[in-house]
């Protein structure tokens, strides 16, 4: 780890100032990703601006939406009664991620900006276009079991590892930013970029822009939602494939009125399954619809040497998760 100066921000304004006064600053949340990356010499900031003192409140709005401070710890979000009631998929997604200790340390903002766990990204002796544009990618022909089947490019197939973000994009979360040019909002699903030819640029954030809050628009039917995570271990492991889904069913007619669905473990960004949702809206709440929808979303999926299994796995997890949500209340436990 290189030497750096540590600064602690008391609010967004001071955070931006401290950031701007440095050559190569980074915002620091719980440190569960950044400290690790600094230790590996992948991140080398000269100034670290601690933003854990910023807003940690969770505000329930009357219309049913929520505003969550970016410095709120993951555990606090998952444990919050309002989140559990209105957005259970979010609570479940967070609880399925990392370990109890890490959930206690990690902030919402840091979770969003965490970087890939691709082995070659982490190995300074390996070629990685994300660490060094144009260097090459050793994952494409390497051990790529955990890599992307959607959204990858010939230059990078790294996945975004967050569970929380998968639920958030399913919910259409908006990210509130404050930067040198002022405040703005961006949909979370637009915040992360696909690698294309520039895998080194991972987000649409301008230098110095700080995430201050996450906004969850009201979504009444999100009360009927869940998060399914498939992984090699029963706990404390990243997703091979995960699904966040919310379902609004017209029980009388057995038709899907509305749906939200997103995939994790399969793409360089948390993957909102728009194609899947389009097929499902207005379709019968039956397995045949779920299959067609999964098919539509995975049509462009491409497997590498070791991760092709994810395509069929994603298909099955989508279908199974939707079936679970579509089952009558009593059966759903």
Partner 1 sequence: MSGGRTMGAVGGSLSRVDGPLKVSGTARFTAEVRLEGLLYAAVVCSTIARGRIARIDSTTAERVPGIIAVMTHENCPRMKAPLAFLRDPNGAAMSALPVMQDNSVRWNGQPVAVVVAETQEIADQAASLVRINYEVEQSALAFEALLPQAQMPKNILGQPSLVKIGDAEAALKDAAIRVDAVYRTPRHYHNAIELHASTAQWDGDDSFVVYDSSQVLAVERTTLATMFGLKQDKVRVLAPFVGGGFGGKTLWNHTILCIAAAKLVKRPVRLVLSREDVFRVTGGRTLSEQRVALGAKADGTLAALIHTGTTAVVSHNSFPEQFTFPARHLYAAKTMLLQQKIVELDMVANTAMRAPGESIGSFALESALDELAVAGGIDPVELRRRIEPAKDPEKGTEFSSRNLVEAYRRGAERFGWADRRPLPRSRRDGEWLIGQGVATAMYPYYRRPGAALIRLTGGPGRGA
Partner 2 sequence: MRFIINGRSYDAEFDVRTSLLDLLRDHLQLSGTKKGCDQGACGACTVLVDGERINSCLALAVQYQDREIMTIEGIGAAHNLHPLQAAFIEHDGFQCGYCTPGQICSAIGMAAEHKRGVPSALTADLLAEHIAFSNDEIRERMSGNLCRCGAHNGIVEAIGQTFAKELGR
Residue whose CB is less far from partner 1, 84 or 117:
117
Pair 106, 29: CB distance under 8 Å: yes
Report how far residue 98's alpha carbon sits from residue 268's, in angstroms, rounded to the nearest whole number.
Answer: 19
CB of 28 to partner 2, least distance (A): 8
**Window 30 to 49, contacts with partner 1 (CB under 8 A):** 39, 41
Q: Between 86 and 260, name the residue whose CB sits nearer to partner 2.
A: 86
Per CB under 8 A, the list member of 23, 62, 63, 125 interacting with partner 1 is: 125
**Nearest CB to partner 1, comparing residues 42 and 194:** 42
Spatial CB neighbours of 299, under 8 Å, sequence gap ≥ 6: 275
Q: Rule CB under 8 A: which of 50-69 touch partner 2?
A: 50, 52
* Nearer residue to partner 1 within complex by CB, 2 or 23: 2
Question: 4 or 121, CB closer to partner 2?
Answer: 4
242 is a site residue for partner 2 (CB under 8 A): no
The neighbour count for residue 185, using CB atoms within 10 Å, is 10
User: Which residues make beta-bridge pairs with 183?
Assistant: 178
* Of the residues 26, 86, 92, 315, which one makes contact with partner 2 according to CB under 8 A: 92
Using CB distances below 5 to 8 A depending on partner kind, what does residue 41 bind out of partner 2, partner 1, none? partner 1
Report the sign of the C-alpha dihedral through residues 206, 211, 216, 217, in that order: negative
| Nearest CB to partner 1, comparing residues 72 and 96 | 96
DSSP output for 118-186 = -HHHH-TTS--TTTSTTS--SSTTS--TTS-SSS-BTTB-PPP--SHHHHHHHTT-EEEEEETTEEEEE
- Residue span binding partner 1 (CB under 8 A) among the ranges 1-9, 74-82, 89-97, 177-185: 1-9
Sorted by sequence, the CB contacts under 8 Å of residue 173 that are 6+ apart come out as: 187, 188, 214, 215, 216, 217
Quote the Cα angle for 292-293-294, to 5°: 95
What is the Cα–Cα distance from 285 to 92, expressed in whole angstroms?
23
Residues that bind partner 2 (CB under 8 A): 1, 3-6, 8, 28, 30-32, 35-36, 38-39, 48, 50, 52, 75, 78-79, 81, 84-85, 88, 91-92, 95-96, 98-102, 104-105, 229, 234-236, 333
Residues that bind partner 1 (CB under 8 A): 1-3, 39, 41, 125
């Amino acid at each position: 780890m290189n030497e750096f100066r540590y600064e602690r921000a008391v609010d967004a304004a001071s955070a931006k100032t401290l950031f701007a006064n440095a050559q190569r600053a980074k915002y620091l949340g719980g440190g569960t990703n950044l400290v690790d990356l600094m230790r590996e010499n992948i991140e080398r900031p000269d100034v670290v601006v601690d933003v854990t003192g910023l807003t940690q409140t969770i505000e329930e709005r009357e219309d049913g939406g929520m505003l969550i401070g970016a410095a709120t710890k993951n555990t606090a979000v998952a444990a919050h009664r309002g989140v559990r009631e209105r957005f259970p998929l979010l609570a479940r997604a967070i609880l399925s991620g990392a370990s109890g200790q890490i959930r206690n340390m990690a902030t919402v903002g840091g979770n969003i900006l965490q970087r890939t766990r691709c082995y070659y990204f982490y190995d300074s002796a390996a070629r990685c276009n994300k660490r060094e544009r144009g260097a090459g990618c050793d994952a494409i022909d390497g051990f790529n079991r955990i890599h992307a089947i959607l959204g990858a490019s010939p230059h990078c197939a790294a996945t975004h590892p967050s569970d929380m973000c998968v639920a958030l994009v399913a919910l259409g979360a908006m990210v509130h930013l404050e930067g040198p040019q002022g405040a703005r909002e961006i949909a979370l699903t637009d915040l992360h970029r696909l690698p294309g030819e520039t895998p080194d640029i991972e987000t649409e954030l301008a230098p110095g822009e700080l995430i201050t809050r996450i906004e969850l628009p009201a979504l009444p039917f999100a009360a009927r939602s869940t998060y399914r995570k498939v992984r090699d271990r029963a706990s404390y492991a990243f997703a091979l494939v995960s699904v966040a889904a919310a379902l609004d069913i017209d029980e009388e007619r057995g038709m899907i009125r509305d749906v939200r669905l997103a995939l994790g473990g399969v793409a360089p960004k948390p993957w909102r399954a728009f194609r899947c949702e389009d097929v499902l809206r207005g379709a019968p709440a039956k397995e045949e619809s779920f299959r067609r929808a999964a098919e539509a979303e995975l049509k462009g999926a491409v497997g590498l040497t070791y991760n092709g299994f994810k395509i069929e796995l994603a298909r099955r997890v989508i279908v199974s998760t939707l079936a679970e949500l579509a089952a009558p209340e009593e059966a759903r436990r």
